[in-house]
Chains A and B, each alone.
Chain A
């Protein structure tokens, strides 16, 4: 038996990523608090200071249990986080380099596509102008043939008119096509110019008025106001923030 078993390697038995026994123990300990919590909720209102002190200790115990569980979680997770960081450190630089390659080479392709698009637009303008001139010339010939009762000239002018209309149609159709660069091998996708729009704020007041009712702006303003209200030196009872009503609520902590 000198041959290696290909199925036998480190981790092949797929161990769980955490200690199940430790999790079970923490779950059992938390379960005790959950049972007692039911009793506290069932009891409802507190009638004397002694009960309040007991509840205070119960809540403190729950918090300590939570902290201990969270600490155990962090300890169990740390090797995975460390391994994850090592994986990130190994792979990320390669990805970053390849992204930089795309960032630096894409403008070269963009420049070429813009050049090609400009040439295409110029060609379309030339074709449309040529078609327009041909149509005018056909109209002129037709009018002249009609004036001198020249049947042959009329038919020739009509043929010229049809040819001019065809040129106009071709130019119109060509104007609807898109500039692109196909894959040389067939393995890549076709590149084309895409329009990207970015906005630059040049009048905050007008912009604010425009988006005054937008929920995102309202959420942003509320966030700014709450930050200011919580800031050191701000008295939420006596100080005010224009446009906001500050609600002061006191909770047990």
Chain B
């Protein structure tokens, strides 16, 4: 069956709604595209991740050549978002970029599998 790719407005509808209202209902097996953050361990640093809707289309017709699928991208790795997506908190694109930058500038955020100890290094206003 030939299908047109889902338009971006529909793809990001849930994420946009969840940004406005954190109590937007979510379903375990239905990941939604957008920018997110999550923790790998309890009290661990926030880790930015994206959930993308992969759409492979025919360049001539613009129609889908295979079924659409969701993929999570975190720290350069791509994986199935279903097992982790309910633990992801939607964030704005700006917050996503800030968080990515913070991971590069703050050494305490490098260890994603260890709790953050804020009592060792003070966070400066520009951090």
Contact = CB atoms under 8 A, between A and B. Distances in A.
Interface residues on A, range: 10 to 19
Nearest to B122: A101
Interface stretch (B52-60, B68-76, B110-118): B110-118
Contacts of A188: 118
A187 B22 contact: no
Interface in B15-53: 17, 20-23, 37, 39, 43-46
A186 B45 contact: yes
A120 to B, nearest CB: 11
Max chain B C-beta neighbours (<10 A), residue from A176, A186, A188 = A186
A187 B39 CA distance: 10
Contacts of A54: none
A113 to B, nearest CB: 16
Contact of B116 (A174, A176, A177, A185): A185
Contact of A185 (B21, B22, B106): B106
A182 to B, nearest CB: 8
A186 to B, nearest CB: 4
B117 A187 contact: yes
A186 B44 contact: yes
Interface in A160-194: 170, 173-174, 176-177, 183-188
Contacts of A185: 45-46, 102, 106, 108-109, 116, 118, 123
A173 B37 CA distance: 23
Interface SS, B side: loop
A120 B45 CA distance: 28
A227 to B, nearest CB: 47
B28 to A, nearest CB: 21
B116 A187 contact: yes
B1 interface: no
A93 to B, nearest CB: 18
A170 B13 CA distance: 13
29 contacts: A170-B17, A170-B21, A173-B21, A173-B23, A174-B20, A176-B23, A177-B22, A183-B46, A184-B102, A184-B123, A184-B127, A185-B46, A185-B102, A185-B106, A185-B108, A185-B109, A185-B118, A185-B123, A186-B39, A186-B44, A186-B45, A186-B46, A187-B43, A187-B45, A187-B108, A187-B115, A187-B116, A187-B118, A188-B118
Given A185-B46, A186-B39, 18 more contacts: A170-B20, A173-B21, A174-B21, A176-B23, A177-B22, A177-B23, A183-B46, A185-B102, A185-B106, A185-B118, A185-B123, A186-B37, A186-B43, A187-B43, A187-B108, A187-B116, A187-B118, A188-B118
Interface of B: 17, 20-23, 37, 39, 43-46, 102, 106, 108-109, 115-118, 123, 127
Q: A-B pairs with the 6 shortest C-beta distances?
A: A187-B116, A186-B46, A187-B118, A186-B45, A185-B116, A173-B21
